Amino acid sequence: MKHPVRLERQNGIAVIAIENPPVNALSAAVRRGILGALHACLADDKITAIVLAANGRSFPAGADIAEFGLPEQEPNLPDLCDIVEASPKPVLAALHGTTLGGGLELAMAAHYRVAHEDTQLGLPEITLGLLPGAGGTQRAPRLIGVDAALDLMLTGKPISARKAQQIGLVDGLAGEELRDAVKLLAAETTEVKPTRSLRHQLADGARYMARIAARRAALGEGFAAQKIVECVEAALLVPFDVGLSMEREAFGECLTSDVSHGLRHAFFAERRARKFPEIGSHSARMVEKFGVVGGGTMGSGIVIACLNAGLPVTLVEQGEHGVNAALDRIGDHYKRSVAKGTLTQGQGTAALNYLNLTTDLSTLRDADVIIEALPDDLAQKQAMFAQLGALAKPGAVLASNTSYLDVAQLAEASGRAADVLAMHFFAPAHHMKAVEIGVTPQTAPEAVATAHAVAVALKKIPVRCSATPALIGNRMLRAYRRVADRLLLSGATPAEIDAAMREFGMAMGPFEAQDLSGLDIAWARRKADPTWPRAQELELADRMCEAGWLGQKTGRGYYVYGDGGAQAVPNGDMLRLLSEERAAKSVSPHPYLTQDLQDRLLCALINEGAHLLEEGIASNASDIDVVMMHGLGFPRQKGGPMNYADRRSLFEIHRLTSQFAAEDPEVWQVSKLLAQRAGERQTFGQG
Ligand code: 3HC
């Protein structure tokens, strides 16, 4: 392996340059390299000052996250920072790119910092359930004061170089000539300025305590956040080295926490999902013109996603009524965004300028990518694909937003199967980040690469899967809802089940989520396909739809919704119907503990995920996690259901699932893969 740190010496100035692409993460080899170079500089009498810099796209973007949890290798980053700070020769850091986390901590340990004017600087450890663990909690308050330091660490958001200069995080800015500018400065610098000895920002520490207490109260239960505040209090109250050791201890506690484990898994899973086998070996086709067919809830959401990403888009709807309804939907979204202050009036209007709304399908003749988002009706979609197949230009990608229907049948209808795939968005499409790209055996790799590029341009996370009905997300949802229905029939109420899953961390419980999306969608599916598993098991949902209780949109579903956002309460009439169905089926209802509800619903997800892997529909367990986290509201802190299962132990998940299957074999078929991995004491993450 190439040496990740270079040392150059010229005219009494040494440049230690880190070279560990892509983001110069501070791996063990980099740390060893910096330490070795530093010792060489200190031993060299001709060197009067040292410049710490990085080649490539950035000064280090942090510690190497992949090394967390592995046995620590010397020198560790906190010690390296201390050694840099203790250097008797001035150390100047030349910052560029994304100087983040441990990278910024290393820079704060240097005696001076100069940043390229485009640099982003931040301490994002909290987004990984961590705190800055290389002296950042002690040095940042000394450099920039308690408030600014807490802002950096508690939000995790990077700031611009200009802002960093204003608050004293960097001493100067430079343009393209950054390295030369810092070398010149180094030649004039004789004084060392250890950050640890700066006290003026901490003077009168007592005055901060009330402010810190207020911030702590506002933080709630976030473990890392509470630890950050504790460490900043330590910076105010105890000597630097004691503060450092408190930080070290707190970092260790955060590192082993379930939350940090889940967030770190999420970080890598999101990046792994984007690695399609087609990328690299096949080029994406050029995409300049983009079309969407169907401006219902999903189609409008996809259009908004395009507009938000600055992509001009043509939306085709049927008739004047369809056009007006789509325009209202899209326009309302921007009105709400302006009212909430997330967009200015000007930005809202500007976004709409990129929209071309028409009833004329032939406008899409020269589109490069067309996403069909019509209602999930096979005949209607087949007819549309036949038309698109005939009119779209050669090489245009024809994507369907369907999840449940068989994409191969749409591909066949188009007469050009190589161009056809699924691009399935999750509601609300402009907000949820996952996009499933469902690939048939006929889909051309270039079409897959193009859909991938479109998803990335829309700032989404593409997840590749095989284009079988329901793809990943709705297979998971179906298994989850099926078990939720079973729990309902056997004694739990929707409110108990929803509360249990919210307590676990889901954005919503399964029944309130159905009320939000509308009960008529699944009703139509059940009517269209009587073999659908849920069609035979619980009649309650059908009875509710027949009564016109379609969820939030009719003010009544599993819950009754008051006017003006009043608190929803359980729908008593629905509970009466449920009791009648239990009686008719001779079911004696029994109570469930919250843990039991959670276990059954989580095992339903994990077991279905294992089936998806077994069937080759998903390639990696982490892809299923990404779909669940970014499509279906699974808590990112738990890293997705498959990671949750790995963390909890597959042995336990297998034991529980087998027990549920013994009780109710109609609903539960234990996945062979789950049994195998549990038997081998392996995880889903292994392979
Ligand atoms: N460690 C290891 N790998 C990292 C990394 C890190 N800190 N940061 C990025 N990478 C890897 C990514 O996994 C990805 O690898 P891949 O190409 O194999 O998928 C590659 O670098 C490029 O990353 P992105 O795809 O995310 O590239 P972007 O240009 O979109 O974003 C970035 C770059 C803004 C630096 C983003 O990667 C990022 O936010 N990284 C994490 C930054 C961070 O959290 N730093 C703190 C780490 S914890 C720490 O420092 C603890 C310390 O206090 C002791």
CA distance 554 to 574: 14
CA distance 357 to 108: 53
CA distance 37 to 47: 12
CA distance 129 to 224: 6
Q: What is the pLDDT of residues 410-468, one digit of tens each?
A: 999 999 999 999 999 999 999 999 999 999 999 999 999 999 999 999 999 999 999 99
What is the percentage of the chain residues whose pLDDT exceeds 90?
84
| Ligand 1 atom nearest residue 57's Cα | 29
| Ligand 1 atom nearest residue 272's Cα | 19
Return the pLDDT at 417.
97
| Ligand 1 atom nearest residue 267's Cα | 13
- What is the Å distance from ligand 1's center to 344 Cα? 32
| Ligand 1 atom nearest residue 58's Cα | 35
Q: Which two tokens stand for residue 611?
A: 């089936």
Q: What is the pLDDT of residues 557-604, one digit of tens each?
A: 999 998 766 679 999 999 999 999 999 999 999 999 999 999 999 999
Q: Could you tell me the pLDDT band of residue 541, with boundaries at 50, 70 and 90?
A: very high
pLDDT at 341 over 90: no
Return the pLDDT at 687.
65
The string over 68-81, giving b where at least 16 C-beta atoms fall within 10 Å of a residue's C-beta and e elsewhere, is beeeeeebbbbebb
- What is the Å distance from ligand 1's center to 98 Cα? 9
Whether the Cβ atoms of residue 385 and residue 420 lie closer than 8 Å to each other: yes
Q: What is the pLDDT of residues 181-227, one digit of tens each?
A: 999 999 999 999 999 999 877 776 667 777 787 777 777 668 999 99
Q: Could you tell me the pLDDT band of residue 348, with boundaries at 50, 70 and 90?
A: confident
Type of residue numbered 497: I
Return the pLDDT at 619.
96
| Ligand 1 atom nearest residue 103's Cα | 50
What is the percentage of the chain residues whose pLDDT exceeds 70?
98
DSSP-assigned letters across all residues of 269-289 = HHHHHT--TTBTTBPPPP---
Pocket test for ligand 1, best of 20, 26, 31, 65 (most atoms within 8 A of CB): 65
Q: Which two tokens stand for residue 130?
A: 């961590």
Region of poorest pLDDT, from 238-252, 279-293, 525-539, 585-599:
525-539
- What is the Å distance from ligand 1's center to 601 Cα? 33
Q: What is the pLDDT of residues 296-308, one digit of tens each?
A: 989 999 999 999 9
pLDDT at 103 over 50: yes
Give the pLDDT mean for 69-78.
93
Nearest CA to ligand 1 atom 45: 62
- What is the Å distance from ligand 1's center to 366 Cα? 39
Of the CA atoms within 13 Å of residue 582, those in its CB half-sphere come to 19
Nearest CA to ligand 1 atom 40: 61
Q: Could you tell me the pLDDT band of residue 535, with boundaries at 50, 70 and 90?
A: very low
| Ligand 1 atom nearest residue 136's Cα | 53
Type of residue numbered 76: N
Higher pLDDT, 282 or 383: 383
Nearest CA to ligand 1 atom 10: 23
DSSP-assigned letter for residue 565: G
Q: What is the pLDDT of residues 264-289, one digit of tens each?
A: 999 999 999 999 999 988 888 888 89
- What is the Å distance from ligand 1's center to 124 Cα? 10
Q: Could you tell me the pLDDT band of residue 344, with boundaries at 50, 70 and 90?
A: confident
Secondary structure of residue 193 in the 3-state scheme: coil
Whether the Cβ atoms of residue 96 and residue 59 lie closer than 8 Å to each other: yes
Pocket test for ligand 1, best of 18, 20, 23 (most atoms within 8 A of CB): 23
CA distance 153 to 146: 10
pLDDT at 72 over 60: yes
Taking the model in full, what pTM does it have? 0.94
Return the pLDDT at 679.
96
- What is the Å distance from ligand 1's center to 507 Cα? 26
Nearest CA to ligand 1 atom 36: 61
Q: What is the pLDDT of residues 642-681, one digit of tens each?
A: 999 999 999 999 999 999 999 999 899 999 999 999 999 9
- What is the Å distance from ligand 1's center to 436 Cα? 24
Chain centroid to CA 423:
18
Nearest CA to ligand 1 atom 9: 23
Q: Which residues lie with the beta carbon below 6 Å from any ligand 1 atom?
A: 22-23, 25, 61-66, 77, 98, 100-102, 105, 124-125, 128, 130, 132-134, 136, 271
pLDDT at 55 over 90: yes
Whether the Cβ atoms of residue 13 and residue 184 lie closer than 8 Å to each other: no
- What is the Å distance from ligand 1's center to 61 Cα? 6
- What is the Å distance from ligand 1's center to 157 Cα? 14
Q: What mean pLDDT is reported for the chain?
A: 94
- What is the Å distance from ligand 1's center to 160 Cα? 18
Give the pLDDT mean for 103-127.
98
| Ligand 1 atom nearest residue 158's Cα | 34
DSSP-assigned letter for residue 369: E
- What is the Å distance from ligand 1's center to 267 Cα? 8
Nearest CA to ligand 1 atom 34: 98
Q: What share of the chain is helix, strand, coil (3-state, %, to 5)?
A: 55, 15, 35
Return the pLDDT at 668.
95
User: Cα dist. 610→479, 607, 641, 661 in Å?
Assistant: 12, 5, 10, 15
